[in-house]
Amino acid sequence: MRLLQAADIFVEKGKEQASKRPSSMRGQRKPPTTQNVRMTELENSQFQFQNFQSRSRVDARLWLDCRLALVKGMMTEIRGMGDVKGPKDKVLPELGECREYCAEGIAEAEACGDVEMQAEFLMQGVLLNIMDGVGSEDTAALLQEILKLLASLQRVSTPGKLLQSLATVELIDLSTAAMAQGEKKDDITEKTAIEYINAQTGVLNQMQLLGEKLEHYYPAGQMLHHSSPVTPMRDIFLPHVLLLAQVKLRIGHAMARNAARAARAGPSDEVTHKWISALGVLMTALEICRVCVTREANLEAEILLYIGKVQRQLFHLGKFNGRSAVSTFMEAIRTSYTTDHDLGLIRQAYIEIALVYMTSGGMVVYREESTQESAPESGDETQSTTTTPTFLPKTPPQKAKRRTTKVRKEKTRAKSTTRQEEGDADKERRAAWLAIRCAAAVGQAQRARLLLTGDPSVTSHPVDTKAQADIPEFVVLDLVSGYVFGEKKVVYKDDIEEAMAALVESLQEEQPIETYEDEINKARAETKDLSWIHLLGYQSILQRMCSTVTISTELETQDENKAAKDDLDLGFISHIQFNHNLNHDVIRSTLFSGPLSLRLNHLHNFLTSHLQLYAATCCAIYPPIGLSLDIQVDMLPELPIIYKSYAGNLTNPLDAQPEATTVEQALPPGTRLDVYKPSDKNILTASENELSLQWYQPAFEEYQSYRRPPTASVTSVNLEQKIMLLYVIGKKGDKVSAPQPLPLGLNWMSVSQVVDLHDRLAVLAQRADISLVEKAKKEKDVPAPAAAATPATKGKKVARIKALSPKVKKDEQLEALLHQCMSDVQMLFGTIAEKEPTEEADIPFEVNRTNIHNFERLFDPSYGYTLKAGQLYNWCVKMFS
């Protein structure tokens, strides 16, 4: 009896503790928001009958599939703008929050024992976190739980394996993007390359099970990055094809980063082999992306950008034609320009084109540490950089007078060859000058886009009727659908009217079911209260969700004791102790950015058509003809690039003919041939004296120098990161086709010093907005003295007004900070020594808000600036002479 009583079968089991999940998926963290959602009462007999009928016809699997379809449908709504028209008090919402349904789906799948369905709902939670801007730690925890759940299964279905691969790649991206850059993380891409290759192996194995044949390379296990399906692929409709292209892009990028780090020790055959291997993987990714049914234009443009960057590195090593690399960058610009109009990608491509032409034109030399610097001067005082000298061929000596004619012919031939070489160098120099000016124009467009939401001409300008009719449907549904869809709220006068409401409703005629067009028209009618701020804010949310930099958050802590303090007590906070290097260890676009880029494409075309200020200031320059130089036939050896071409998937076999007919290569989805292109007249020709600065941190070139030796407290050597400065000086009347040389050059500067200088200039600009705004108003109110004011009464009246006007005092702190910033600029360019005492001379330009703001924008490492002629221009140009 005692044994029976102690048996486990009679022991009452306690409640199992639920697995710990991140806060975003634990359910409702606040009072439920679905209290206003119309629900059927459980005590209602009709509901009980319908519930019984539903349970008899719907099993658990179908129920979970329906809930997952509901969650995925709600996920297409971008909810970052919130309630754009205030509280939703006119209609009764039919659905609750998507996160609540997702949490309920996880609980139901767990109760039914469906592990794969739990993972599916958790992945939707990951997308929700990315949309809502939740911290990367929470999102990474969800991805780890997905992988843990799927790893616990003995057998995983095909959709489950695809989900496992997606979670793996997204976790690597998120972890790398959120990782702090430093000396200990120098070999991070060595680790991520292996992880991406393992993810690629999983995708290829799934494709093999689905009927594809694979091709591997020997030695086995050492060239897994080149593994790919056999050409032509049997099924390009598989969702694995697009994922394979995305994974190969990440593998090629990681391999290129490893090659860039290996190139610090100097060029070698091993470094060249690494660059060639990375180029082959990226070219295979491009071929797969182009034949995929779900082809993505933003993915294709980014692959082209990285292919061009690797080709430029091979060009520096003398293994590739530079103008072929330029054509790759031009294709990347055109692809992005006609689709989602990614300004950051376009600006990078223009700067890369400038670097190629500056190197081929002899203006930049390539160091052994895989970095570039300006070529040494040859005595020309007017130019900051000079082309490499051209050596004339030796003329054969004259042996007799009868050979004079032959010698003259040979001299003429030699001179013509030299002129042709000099002509090519001049063309490349002008193309580099043009590329930097295009990049500066794109940088100004990026800054104008950020400041557009604060422009009074935009905030006060309503959306007209014509623009309301052309707003894209997805924007209309995302912004105002909550105010339209649902049952209208009814306010009853008393309890009797509420009780009789059901009877009155039954006697009314049944209303026809609304179609999709009817619902769209109803929602579009509610857009009359929207402003341009709502549309621009919606575009900013889409851009944030497409970038790996903005979806990850990194917390930086600052020691109060070590915080830099300014002597002038102007509220200055220095960021010099923080890390300001761009995270080049991860690619630019996210794994799920394809559908979002299509929305950006439609929204950009809408804004350029209906918002004049956006079209005038926020669009990039289409690639001018002067950037496309003829590709010369060189004698370079053919590179042993290993890549797969899937041209066979672009052919259409005909029944009557055994041979296949090649189909012209289709453009990426969403490409618009009639896209808006702003005028490039001001870029091709300098209307006045201009100075354009562009700051750039190349992804595959890392210029590092020793700042200080290790000490007792710091055991490692502190490496000072540097940033590349490209400058162009355009004089009035300069044209791309001008025969005279156009001044341009390149410098490397300390990132920390540039950031510290920009912090001080930002404080200076804020101080100027406060102290100089009254001065500007006073100058407008002072009347100009009349030339013919002879009566004494008029003179007394003017004098009395001047006497009543308060005298404008100088802001000594403002001018002191301006002097300090000017000294920092001079030390940055090396015109004065770092510890050399400088006397505060007169400021060589007028101290006003315009000059100070231009000064701050000029040294903004994010975008750069183009400075027009003036006193500030005259002072800045001296730094480059």
pLDDT digits 0-9 by tens, 94-147? 777 888 889 999 999 998 889 999 999 999 999 998 888 888 888 999 999 999
Q: pTM of the entire structure?
A: 0.83
68 touches 159 (CB < 8 A): no
Angle formed at CA 19 by CA 15 and CA 21, multiple of 5 degrees: 140
Report in angstroms the alpha-carbon separations of 542 from 57, 178, 339, 602. Answer: 41, 20, 14, 12
SS3 840: coil
Query: 758 CB contacts (<8 Å, ≥6 apart)?
Result: 856, 859, 860, 861
SS3 assignment for 383-448? CCCCCCCCCCCCCCCCCCHHHHHHHHHHHHHHHHHHHHHHHHHHHHHHHHHHHHHHHHHHHHHHHH
SS3 781: helix
358 touches 744 (CB < 8 A): yes
Q: How many CA atoms lie within 13 A of 793 on its CB side?
A: 0
Quote the CA–CA distance of 414 and 418 in Å, as a whole number.
Answer: 6
Mark out the alpha helices in 19-157 (DSSP H runs): 45-57, 60-75, 98-112, 115-132, 136-151
DSSP state string for 139-193: HHHHHHHHHHHHHT-SS--HHHHHHHHHHHHHHHHHHHHHSPPSSTTTTHHHHHH
SS3 assignment for 701-744? CCCEEEEECCCCCCCCCEEEEEEEEEEEEECCCCECCCCCCCCE
**Which amino acid type is present at position 323?**
R
The gap from C-alpha 783 to its chain's centroid, in whole angstroms, comes to 50
Sign of the torsion angle spanned by Cα atoms 183, 189, 190, 194: positive
The gap from C-alpha 58 to its chain's centroid, in whole angstroms, comes to 46
489 touches 89 (CB < 8 A): yes
Sign of the torsion angle spanned by Cα atoms 230, 231, 234, 236: positive
Query: 569 CB contacts (<8 Å, ≥6 apart)?
Result: none
Tally of CB atoms within 10 A around 320: 21
* pLDDT of the residue at 123: 95
388 touches 375 (CB < 8 A): yes
372 touches 364 (CB < 8 A): yes
Quote the CA–CA distance of 81 and 534 in Å, as a whole number.
Answer: 7
Backbone angles phi, psi at 159, to 5 degrees: -60, -35
Take residue 770 and report the two structure tokens written for it.
């406060």
Quote the CA–CA distance of 386 and 377 in Å, as a whole number.
Answer: 6
The residues facing 720 across adjacent strands are 705
Quote the CA–CA distance of 600 and 419 in Å, as a whole number.
Answer: 48
* pLDDT of the residue at 351: 95
Length, in residues, of the chain: 881
Helices 343-360 and 297-316 cross at an angle (nearest 10°) of: 20
Backbone angles phi, psi at 187, to 5 degrees: -105, 30
Q: Smallest Cα–Cα separation from 337: which of 696, 672, 608?
A: 672
Burial class (CB in 10 A: 0-12, 13-18, 19+), 481: middle
Quote the CA–CA distance of 306 and 349 in Å, as a whole number.
Answer: 10
* pLDDT of the residue at 574: 53
User: Maximum Cα–Cα distance for the chain, whole Å?
Assistant: 134
863 touches 692 (CB < 8 A): no
Quote the CA–CA distance of 79 and 83 in Å, as a whole number.
Answer: 9
Segments in the chain below pLDDT 50: 28-40, 182-183, 378-405, 407, 554-570, 576-578, 655-656, 706-717, 774-808
- The gap between the terminal CA atoms of the chain, to the nearest Å, is 103
Backbone angles phi, psi at 637, to 5 degrees: -70, 150
SS3 content of the chain, % helix, strand, coil (to 5): 55, 5, 40
Q: Smallest Cα–Cα separation from 622: which of 802, 763, 438, 750?
A: 438
The residues facing 228 across adjacent strands are 215
SS3 70: helix
**Which amino acid type is present at position 549?**
V
* pLDDT of the residue at 842: 76
The residues facing 715 across adjacent strands are none
The residues facing 722 across adjacent strands are 750
